[in-house]
Amino acid sequence: MADYGIKLVWAGWNNDDVIGFSERGYQRWRDTITPGTRMLLYETMGKPKGSKAKGTKSIVGEVEVEGSFDDGETRRKPDEQHARLLPVKVVRARDETTPIPLDRVRELLGDEQYPRMGESWRPLNEAEVEAFLKEWS
């Protein structure tokens, strides 16, 4: 099974072809998030500058990493919120996915404190992955 995790994304994520990380997130995860890694995308209430999107506090899609952080910058320039970008392909599009709300995410993780401040990526073990994918089957 591919490596999996949950990645926090801004309100309004809609099938983007890159996923952004802060410089701190990049430094922490650059060696473990590689092509083939799958990301369940948890939409926060935070929004990028100028956006009027409303966050859902739920998992709204799934992507697969297609390249390196260096490759991500060939698709789009970094911005002040996302110093590093990863290229991804959409596996489960937002409009084709039943959102998994925060209370259910916490239940499946067995973690009432998720998501924690400063934690933008959370690796998942195989049992957690299976539980999330079962929600969509």
pLDDT, block means (10 residues), the chain with 137 residues: 86 89 89 94 81 86 93 69 85 94 96 91 94 91
> For the chain, percent helix, then strand, then coil, each to nearest 5?
25, 30, 45
- Residue 114 is given by DSSP the state P
Q: What pLDDT shows up at residue 79? A: 61
Q: What pLDDT shows up at residue 77? A: 62
The answer, as to whether pTM is greater than 0.95, is no
Domain ranges of the chain: 4-135
CA geometry: angle 131, 31, 83, nearest 5 deg: 95
Tokens of 75: 């698709």
Q: What pLDDT shows up at residue 137? A: 82
Query: What is each CA distance from 92 to 37, 82, 88, 98, 117, in whole angstroms?
Result: 14, 23, 12, 10, 26
The topology (CATH level 3) of 4-135 is ph1033 like fold (3.10.590)
